[in-house]
Chain A
């Protein structure tokens, strides 16, 4: 399940025995996961398996019911305010719905984390914002509001806001949700490219299998709140574990299943 290779670099983030439940519904069961420094880790899984909850626990937006999240070996749950603030400064979160502030222009959205959470001088902030907007080709849209932008532009703007603080960890929550295949590739290319360029540690939550396998250094598979697989993409491709195989091969099964449905055969129970 776990690969010995992960111990070679000290984990930036570590999850130990994490459990999260809403009421009586347990979303995550005793989860253990290492996030290796400087790599791109993808957490795969079907919708509703707790991927986003896991990411929110990692970001400290949700508090786990049991277990802990360790940041450089220190538990975040019991961290004092300065440690937490330091973690926030070094960690960015890209929300599934972008979570751009709709009352602020693109420029102000990107400048916001620098103005509010750092002590950088104004010219430095301006330079950084301009740089971030330029890298994501949003320079000419600085004065527009998020509502005046297309979905792809909003995604780029959210990425600009996440990267402008020069974070060491970036958490991506379904960055490709609702995008067409071309944009999906573009987003993964953008993530992989900026990850190489800035050298941050990335955790991506997604269910886009081919793109994830192509772009990530490590892959984890979440099924019903438990981690079924953790390893390199190549190992994922070769794994014979039933859960992995089911997720991996669902696409190739498609043709056969459609043909079966057209023949009038019943839908397999595991898909219904």
Chain B
């Protein structure tokens, strides 16, 4: 059990002076072997304080003061860069391990069920209300300009370009992403992931790959469901509850959306799906590495991190894609 309590990247017992400020070592220099990254720690951090490369120089007090801030900044930079690299490796390994993974279809179906079928009610409800409120707000705003007939384009463009991919992604993260992080975290805690490894089964291929692939299937579909039900919601508030003729609404909807808009929408859905589910898998898979906590609290911390990071990454990626594609 010592392997669990003393976590590998858990820098809990690293003294502040032990980390050299700006020495960039590959964070997983020893990790070329079968998932050795779980237990190896950056060599730069294991270096005892006495072997600190800067220890021989004795800076003036003023210099020392300014240096004392450097390790903190350097250490957190190292940690962020290292973790980013580790996440990228994890994701790449997740996709590549799908090749040659046996009976992947069965696990893929399960993942599609968890991310897709079970999230469908939420997506439909949220989509409907999004469309309803868009129609309501848009109608009254446009009415002020005497162009209520533009309600269709307003609702359609808002939904297809932004709201459907973003809100669908956030909803799936909230329902399926958090659940899968917790599941993986518990599997890590109860040594199920280690057990897979001792059985000669690649846990990446077995647990991560189907989820990553499912996200690429599910997210565009959920986004399409969201957009379509949202358009219906806009029609309900514009033409059923308010006096805009339905034919005006629908014909302007058809006119407003170009293939490029739909393409952008699908690209967003794919990127969000790839990003969020990978983040959720990563945080669950590495639950044992939370340096400050172990056990159930590590799982809950991982789940929180997964949801927060996923949500932030969705909105940040949304801005990036929009600025690149428009």
Contacts and interface: CB of A to CB of B under 8 A. Distances in A.
A43 B85 CA distance: 39
A113 B6 contact: no
B221 interface: no
Contacts of A23: 6, 10, 12-14, 41
A89 B200 contact: yes
Interface string B293-318: 00000000000000000000000000
A91 interface: yes
B3 A62 contact: yes
Interface stretch (B168-176, B187-195, B212-220, B262-270): B187-195
A85 B200 contact: yes
Interface residues of B, number: 33
Contacts of A24: 13
Interface in B171-189: 183, 187
Nearest to A171: B198
Interface stretch (A45-53, A136-144, A257-265): A45-53
Interface stretch (B19-27, B32-40, B64-72, B121-129): B32-40
Interface string A34-69: 000000000000001010110010011111000000
A231 to B, nearest CB: 26
A116 B206 contact: yes
A48 B13 contact: no
A22 B8 contact: yes
Q: How big is the A interface, by class?
A: 35 or more
Contacts of B196: 101
B2 interface: yes
B286 to A, nearest CB: 15
A22 B190 contact: no
Contacts of A25: 6, 13
A50 B3 CA distance: 9
B33 A77 contact: yes
Contacts of A117: 199-201
B274 to A, nearest CB: 24
A88 interface: yes
A185 interface: no
Contacts of A77: 33
B102 A60 contact: no
A166 to B, nearest CB: 13
Contacts of B201: 112-113, 116-117
B191 A22 contact: no
6 contacts: A22-B6, A52-B3, A95-B191, A101-B196, A102-B192, A117-B200
Given A61-B194, A112-B201, 10 more contacts: A59-B198, A78-B33, A88-B199, A91-B198, A92-B198, A93-B198, A95-B194, A102-B190, A113-B200, A116-B206
What 8 A-B pairs have minimum CB-CB distances, sorted nearest first?
A22-B6, A88-B200, A99-B195, A117-B200, A23-B13, A93-B198, A99-B191, A113-B199
